[in-house]
A and B are shown apart, each in its own frame.
Chain A
Amino acid sequence: MSAQAVLLCLLLAPLLQAALVLVFSRPPGLRDLIHIVLSLAGFVFALLLVGAVLRGETARIVFAQPLPNVQLAFTPEPLGAFIAVALTGLNTLHAVHAAGLARASAESAPARLLAFLGLCTAFAVAVALSANLLSLFVSYQALILAAFPLVAHRGDEESRTAANTFLATLLAASMGLFLPAMIWTYALTGALDFRAGGMLAGRVDQLTANILLVLFVLGMAASAMPPFHRWLTASTRAPFPGLVAILALSVLPAGGVGILKIVAFVFGAAMQDAAIASTALIVLAGAGMCVAALIALSKQDIRERLAYSCMAQSLAVVMGALLALPAGLFAAALQILALSCAGATLLMAAGTTAIITLRTRIADYAGLGRVMPWTFAGFAIASASMVGMPPFAGAWAKLWLITAAAGSGLVWAAALAAAAAILTFAHLAPVAADALASRAPTDAFKRPDGASILLAAPVILSALATLSLLVLADPLANFLAPIWTPQSP
């Protein structure tokens, strides 16, 4: 199969998945099978794409040319291919979990839920593989629109209000900040195609570079950069499968990937011209990490706590990207993987717990690990990864982040990252410890049979995925090297 065909299949598989799930919504067995098999197919295509990139093959799919010199195009560069593998791989596990959860909770509209999960995956992968700023923008907007129904899924007044907040915050930031920055970039360069080394390098003055960086970073509100982070708490109204998709597998990671691509391919060497803005944004991201982790500590609802925890992790991606050193970009890429693995594990575990035991308050988690050992083993591993404990993925990401911060002379940034890690420990470790060490509750299960394999296996497998960087970190550094190596003109 050529790289071109693989890329097309990877982009279309989740869309096909969404369509088929809606068409074959009954019987449930067929619907779930389609959902899982096509998720797996997406993962296989992503692996094949990585293989093609490793062999040096190139591909480019052009869907439209909405502007002169600007195409709606997708291409597999190393960063995009890496993120596509991570997201589709975890999405396969989540597909199994979501199908199980929809059955266990007797979900009223399971086909619609699964279809929009598929669409979110499709557009998150499209963000990662976008070949230019316009394609990134289009995919990002489509992702927001696809995630909106997940937040509004319950259909009650509270969900609709939350969904409106979600949509308004993300779309307003992208239309009001990102779009002007994109048009400005087009006016400066006459093109929008991504280029290793930065398309703005040597083409902008310092003032323009600073303003553009602020517009791009704040406009990509999916990264949860304050002050455009209200969508994150609004998204907790989504059912658990939707929450997993939004916080761990699509919207939040897409925000991180977007910023990483902008820093690497739009600014590149021009980041030196935007030093003032990047320093200010690093301060904002660092302070945001600490405050988000602190707020998480105050939240008693597991969804809200995990949402703020994921926000802190996402801001670490932004910080790494803004450091603009190879080590920083690498840290940001690792951090996206760490966030996705650990976030998906924690949220899937919380979802399983909510459905099987009807417990969503943290105080009620005590002792649940004794009756749901696999689920809470996964929860504990993912918590350790979020905190940054070796040998889990979060540790390597934070190590590189702190190294990059120190390397660029921003010791205070390294200190902020470390402080956020300590606060993450404070809001996650006691939950896991209490669940595993306390006495088991006598009335743990709503369902007499406990969690089925569909709900337990994905949690533990995604938790194990946090160990992947033990063996993959070094090859990954070589694989991703082209993104921080400028192309010769």
Chain B
Amino acid sequence: MDSGLLEIARAHAPFLVVIAPIVGAAAIIAVRHAGVCWLIACLSALAPTALAFDLVWRLAESGVAPLAQLAIATRVDGVGAAAAAVVSLASALAIFAAGALLGERRGPETHLVFALGLCMQGGWCGALYARDWSALFVAAEGAWLACVALIGLRSEKDRAALNGAMRMLISGGAASAFLLCGLAFLMRALGDARIEALAGVRLAAPAMAAAGASLALLALAAKAGVAPLHAWVGAALGRAQGNVALIAGVAGLAGALAVMMRVGAYASVDARIGPAVSTVLALLGAASAVIGSVQAIGATNVQRMAGYASGAQAGCLLLGVALGSPAGFASALVQLLAIMAGGAALVGAMAAGGAKTLADLDGYGRRAPLASAAITAAALSFMGAPLTIGFLGRWRLVEASVGAGWWWAAGVVIVVSLAGVFYGGRLIERIYFKRVSAVQSSEFTARNALLAPVLVAAIAAIAIGVAPGELLRLAAGVAAIATGVGP
């Protein structure tokens, strides 16, 4: 009986991965009790995560996964499925961690944090499994609006939250218009609403298709915090509560980036529009890597620094996608996991001790040794230090770009690593070599419950860097499917 149910769940995996978080969100709104809401949220986030990973595993093993056909049409491809698993994991970790703040910051909006987080997870996963361009648009917009609402949840009490949400709404609104235009161009050029049609049909207007794909990617870049289209990142993440920053800043950015990867994967491998799309992605990637790095060096608010650093890492990810090769997609998937792990470890560990700025980190090593270890792991990963997942992602990217003759991309990766040395080094120096002031010491409140998911992320950042064999095999498998050379 149980195995039968499990098989049904596996057969409907894409549907469940999308719908379970949304059902969970509805249940949370009905229940409203914070503790129960957290339990529902954890279950609704973790169960789809397990299904999403199982689906990736099956895909990488055999190239196809037998799935039931439903009225809500889904399309499972290598990059989308793998990215959905990573996004689900990021969301599950963030939602689990957010529960640690229930005790002290419980308010009328507490349950909404979980509900909106789940909506965001379901939305981004929907965009990653969408069969049609229109479904992708609807799902992505739903996820984005959930993210905006999450940031603006405390706007009654905190003007910074309102400011952040408004900035997101304005830049996201403009991006949505571009996304709609781009997808409309694509559908018009393809004469078909299905995403997979891009790989098969004869293009009536390749130039229009290229413009459409480029517009869509630029719009998604604005939602993913990719520089220079990231005007909202500082305002939204800088003063957000730790749990909100964790959900919106880690899972939200990862989701938008993942959808970008998926669209980019379809567009960049197509011989007719690939070169133009690759150019857009490469320019965007290089700009984001450099601008994000410079801004991260200058940031004194660590949540803001994490946002900018993620933008810099996202630049590396986009360079991998721009290559349009299996090696490039594989490096991008590793990079996505690196962004997720590093971001979750950094933002979560800050939240665990109630720290926000660099000055708050003075003497953190003594006050919160485990959280400090997590920040150190994140900083090392952002630097691209050996034996971390950050190093692995960048190594694979440089290898792929050198193989394609993109030597300049290797230069960009080095710029990101060098910048990482500066801002990552600054974090480590503050934590271990600055003395804590009496005021900081008296104000310190440890939220140990938050540490479990944070440590999972930090350990993953190191463990995958030390033994990456399985991850690389999976990444290579799904990337090969994306480029049509897989099984």
Contacts and interface: CB of A to CB of B under 8 A. Distances in A.
B467 A183 contact: no
B435 A180 contact: no
Contact of B386 (A66, A163, A176): A66
A155 B472 CA distance: 42
Interface string A166-186: 011001100110011001101
B433 A152 contact: yes
Contact of A138 (B386, B434, B467): B386
Contact of A66 (B414, B435, B465): B465
Contacts of A212: none
Given A168-B421, A187-B402, A175 B414 contact: yes
B160 to A, nearest CB: 31
A180 B410 contact: yes
A67 interface: yes
Chain A interface residue bracket vs B? 20 to 34
A72 B395 CA distance: 15
B432 A149 contact: yes
A68 interface: yes
B399 A186 contact: yes
B395 A183 contact: yes
Given A160-B434, A163-B429, A183-B410, A175 B421 contact: yes
A487 interface: no
B57 interface: no
A175 B418 contact: yes
Contacts of A187: 399, 402-403
A472 interface: no
A484 interface: no
Contact of A176 (B385, B418, B468): B418
Which one of A164, A183, A186, A187 has the greatest number of beta carbons of chain B within 10 Å?
Answer: A183
A167 B423 CA distance: 12
Interface string A62-79: 001111100010000000
B386 A183 contact: no
A66 B391 contact: yes
Contacts of B386: 66, 134, 137-138, 141
Contact of B398 (A65, A149, A176, A183): A183
B347 interface: no
A45 B425 CA distance: 34
B130 interface: no
Nearest to B468: A66
B133 to A, nearest CB: 37
Contacts of A137: 386
A168 B414 CA distance: 14
B369 to A, nearest CB: 13
B417 interface: yes
Contacts of B418: 172, 175-176
Interface string B175-196: 0000000000000000000000
Nearest to A183: B398
Nearest to A175: B417
A179 B386 CA distance: 10
Which one of B422, B433, B468 has the greatest number of beta carbons of chain A within 10 Å?
Answer: B433
Contacts of B472: 68
Interface string B458-487: 000000011111001000000000000000
B38 to A, nearest CB: 37
Contacts of A152: 429, 433
B384 interface: yes
A186 B395 CA distance: 10
B384 A171 contact: no
A28 to B, nearest CB: 22
A138 B387 contact: yes
Interface string B396-415: 00110011000000100010
Given A155-B435, A160-B429, A167-B425, A175 B395 contact: no
Contact of B425 (A68, A164, A180): A164
A205 to B, nearest CB: 15
Contacts of A67: 392, 395, 468
A1 B395 CA distance: 38
Contact of A183 (B385, B402, B432, B435): B402
B372 to A, nearest CB: 14
B383 interface: yes
Interface string A446-475: 000000000000000000000000000000
Contacts of A168: 421-422, 425
A179 B395 CA distance: 9
B429 A164 contact: yes
Contacts of A184: 402
A67 B393 CA distance: 11
A167 B425 CA distance: 8
Contacts of A183: 395, 398-399, 402, 410
Contacts of A160: 429, 433-434
B425 A179 contact: no
Contacts of A64: 387, 466-467
Which one of B385, B386, B410, B433 has the greatest number of beta carbons of chain A within 10 Å?
Answer: B386
A187 B401 CA distance: 10
A237 B236 CA distance: 41
A69 B253 CA distance: 33
A18 to B, nearest CB: 15
A163 B392 CA distance: 27
A321 B467 CA distance: 34
B433 A163 contact: yes
Contacts of B391: 66
A67 B433 CA distance: 33
A259 B472 CA distance: 32
A66 B385 CA distance: 12
A138 B402 CA distance: 22
B471 to A, nearest CB: 11
Nearest to B402: A187
A330 to B, nearest CB: 31
Interface in B410-458: 410, 414, 417-418, 421-422, 425, 429, 432-435
A175 B387 contact: no
Nearest to B389: A66
A68 B392 CA distance: 11
B433 A155 contact: yes
A172 B415 CA distance: 10
A480 to B, nearest CB: 28
A67 B391 CA distance: 10
Given A66-B391, A187-B402, A171 B421 contact: yes
Interface in A48-86: 64-68, 72
A64 B421 CA distance: 24
18 contacts: A66-B466, A67-B392, A138-B387, A141-B385, A152-B429, A160-B434, A163-B433, A168-B425, A171-B425, A172-B418, A172-B421, A175-B384, A176-B418, A179-B384, A179-B414, A183-B402, A183-B410, A187-B399
Interface of A: 64-68, 72, 134, 137-138, 141, 149, 152, 155, 160, 163-164, 167-168, 171-172, 175-176, 179-180, 183-184, 186-187
Given A167-B425, A172-B421, 18 more contacts: A64-B387, A64-B467, A66-B466, A72-B387, A137-B386, A152-B429, A155-B433, A168-B421, A168-B422, A171-B383, A175-B414, A175-B417, A175-B418, A176-B414, A179-B414, A179-B417, A183-B399, A187-B403
